[in-house]
Chains A and B, each alone.
Chain A
Amino acid sequence: MAEVKLNSLRIQITDGALIPDKGNKTVRASWKIALFGALGLLVFLPLYNMAPVQDFVLSLWAGLFPSPETNARLAEIHSGKYTNIWVDILLYLPDGLSVTFEVTLSSILLATLFGLAAGLGQISRVVLFNRIATVYVEVIRGIPLLVQIFYIYFALGNIFHLDGFFAAVLSMSFCYGAYMGEIFRAGIQAVPRGQMEAALALGLSRSQAIARIILPQTVKIILPAIGNEFIALLKDSSMVSVMALVDLLRLAKNYGSNHGDYFPPLTVVALVYLVMTLILSWLVAVMEERLNNNAR
């Protein structure tokens, strides 16, 4: 029956990571390589830079190609002043990680509300709501997120004295609300027309029909797409590091400038982002599969 097919309808919007679903072996293989590669590096680099390991490696190196530089580094290790910068960063990370997560979670919740409002507005028959929603979506989608962040934090923040966290969440969710609005609109319109007709024929009002019949079905259709937005938002949250907000990226930048070496902190942060998005995209794939197996 046609209904069964329509039940398994899903929207695919891929500004998140590629989703490693079971059907696609290539994506799945590259997902595994990327995840285990990143995790491997995150374990290997701190271990390799431990004092005894460095001592061994540098001694070997000095034996083969003697140079004043190698000797200087060996001397540093022997003096006991050597710090393993890779381990050091990992100890700092949790602070930045929690800020990144707080911004991401708060933003996704608020963005979902904005998105729901925008989506309902776009299908609204009230001209005013419709105009507000469509203009919001058009305008916001047309301005780069980084410009919006600058605008809200520096331009508006100057006038209204916005707190960094608040400004971050506001700009992220305002922007993502517009993307989510499109997802909600598409999801609502993907519910077969007969559902609305049946609800109306039973005497429900349009808003009752939307709340009781259309939206519950919309949620199932758009859940994977929202998962994707979540991943994209997690990555884009790195843009809030331009504010006085110490998220993962800002933490790495601060660490780099304090120690005069950006390579280790930025490498670690990039790998941590990669691991997080890979795990999240796997979760989205699992969720999508569950929804497909269980169309309710």
Chain B
Amino acid sequence: MPDRIRIEGATKNFGELKALNNVSMSVKAGETVVVIGPSGSGKSTLLRAVNRLEVLTEGDIWVDEDHVTHHGSDIRKIREEVGMVFQNFNLFPHLTVLQNVTLSPITVKKIPRAQAEARGMELLVRVGLSEKRDAWPEQLSGGQKQRVAIARALAMDPKVLLFDEPTSALDPEMVKEVLDVMLALAKEGMTMMVVTHEMGFAKAAADRVIFMDQGEIIESGTPKELFDHPKNERTAKFLAHIL
């Protein structure tokens, strides 16, 4: 399988602070890679660099053949193919659920409204929210908001989905409904890079788990390897803390 995301020597400095220090990794097509680590370990910064919401100080990132970190690249074209789901959902509060989902296909991809809405409804059915098509975001629960956000990202037919702590802002009883949707996506062969604290999800869905600390990748492996037999002391310590 070819690499869908390739990160080489990613470094990001916030003033004195090294948020990322020479990080290299890749995500193969169809793979689900979960990135874990304590807060401030740089995992979100790394994820956000993949669609250039964060500009690297040094290093290169490719999505397929597209050179994300190169100045001359058409970043908008790349972002069309890289979906992103945020911790705080970031639904557009002045648009209905369906409008949230169809905005980008209509505005960016110039897909005819009727066609975009038909596709949007398919996706809302898929995340179990077709009856909310005309609801406003504020009328939804957190879990519903996040499922709409996933449908919105899927509406662009992305090659890759990035998840930035998608369940961290949710009440505990709503975590499962979001993880179920993500798990289904992983099983269908969507390429996913997921930053999360949900170890259950990592065990169930991840092909590989990457542990980061202080801007560096400490250890990576299959969920079984990493969770059951961590090689590094820091990994073991973190896991003991969180599991």
Number of residues in B with C-beta < 8 Å to the partner? 31
Number of residues in A with C-beta < 8 Å to the partner? 25
**Using a CB-CB cutoff of 8 Å, which residues 45-97 of chain B contact chain A?**
51, 53, 76-77, 79-80, 82-84, 86, 88-94
Contact residues in B for A1 (Cβ distance below 8 Å) = 142, 145, 169
> Can you list 11 pairs linking A and B with CB atoms under 8 Å apart?
A3-B89, A3-B91, A4-B138, A195-B92, A198-B86, A202-B79, A202-B153, A203-B76, A203-B104, A204-B108, A205-B76
Does A198 lie within 8 Å of B90, measured CB to CB?
yes
Q: Which of B88, B104, B136 contacts A202 (CB 8 A)?
A: B104
Q: Which of B77, B94, B153 contacts A217 (CB 8 A)?
A: B94
In the complex, A2 Cα to B138 Cα: how many Å?
11
Q: Quick check: which of A112-120, A151-159, A208-216 contacts chain B, the rest being far away? A: A208-216
Contact residues in A for B137 (Cβ distance below 8 Å) = 3
Q: A194-B88, A201-B86, A204-B108 are in contact. List 7 more A-B contacts (CB 8 A).
A: A3-B91, A192-B88, A194-B90, A198-B90, A203-B156, A204-B76, A213-B92
Contact residues in A for B83 (Cβ distance below 8 Å) = 201
Does A296 lie within 8 Å of B152, measured CB to CB?
no
Does B92 lie within 8 Å of A200, measured CB to CB?
no
Does A295 lie within 8 Å of B93, measured CB to CB?
yes
Contact residues in A for B153 (Cβ distance below 8 Å) = 201-202
Minimum CB–CB distance for A93 against chain B, Å: 42
Does A203 lie within 8 Å of B94, measured CB to CB?
no
Closest A residue to B52 by CB, please name it.
A200
Contact residues in A for B86 (Cβ distance below 8 Å) = 194, 197-198, 201
In the complex, whether A59 has a CB less than 8 A from a CB of chain B is: no
Does A212 lie within 8 Å of B103, measured CB to CB?
yes
Does A202 lie within 8 Å of B89, measured CB to CB?
no
**Taking A7-B138, A295-B138, A296-B94 as contacts, is the C-beta distance between A204 and B104 under 8 angstroms?**
yes
In the complex, A2 Cα to B89 Cα: how many Å?
11
In this complex, the member of A198, A202, A208, A296 whose beta carbon has the largest number of chain B beta carbons within 10 angstroms is: A202
Minimum CB–CB distance for A192 against chain B, Å: 8
Does A203 lie within 8 Å of B108, measured CB to CB?
yes
**Taking A204-B107, A205-B76, A212-B103 as contacts, is the C-beta distance between A296 and B93 under 8 angstroms?**
yes
Contact residues in A for B142 (Cβ distance below 8 Å) = 1
Minimum CB–CB distance for B59 against chain A, Å: 20
Contact residues in A for B94 (Cβ distance below 8 Å) = 216-217, 220, 296
In this complex, the member of B80, B88, B93 whose beta carbon has the largest number of chain A beta carbons within 10 angstroms is: B93
Does A203 lie within 8 Å of B93, measured CB to CB?
no
Contact residues in B for A295 (Cβ distance below 8 Å) = 93, 138
Does A3 lie within 8 Å of B93, measured CB to CB?
yes
Contact residues in B for A199 (Cβ distance below 8 Å) = 92
Closest A residue to B93 by CB, please name it.
A7
**Using a CB-CB cutoff of 8 Å, which residues 143-172 of chain B contact chain A?**
145, 152-153, 156, 169
In the complex, A120 Cα to B153 Cα: how many Å?
28
Q: Which of A201, A204, A216, A217 contacts B51 (CB 8 A)?
A: A201
Does A197 lie within 8 Å of B93, measured CB to CB?
no
Minimum CB–CB distance for A9 against chain B, Å: 11
Interchain residue pairs A-B with the least CB separation, the first 9: A198-B90, A202-B104, A203-B80, A194-B90, A201-B84, A203-B108, A203-B79, A216-B94, A203-B76
In the complex, A205 Cα to B83 Cα: how many Å?
15
Per-residue B-contact encoding for A245-272, CB less than 8 Å = 1, 0 else? 0000000000000000000000000000
In the complex, A52 Cα to B142 Cα: how many Å?
73
Per-residue A-contact encoding for B129-142, CB less than 8 Å = 1, 0 else? 00000001110001
Contact residues in B for A217 (Cβ distance below 8 Å) = 93-94
Does B79 lie within 8 Å of A198, measured CB to CB?
no
**Using a CB-CB cutoff of 8 Å, which residues 60-111 of chain A contact chain B?**
none
In the complex, A195 Cα to B82 Cα: how many Å?
17
Contact residues in A for B53 (Cβ distance below 8 Å) = 197, 200-201
Does A212 lie within 8 Å of B107, measured CB to CB?
yes
**Taking A7-B138, A201-B53, A217-B93 as contacts, is the C-beta distance between A2 and B104 under 8 angstroms?**
no
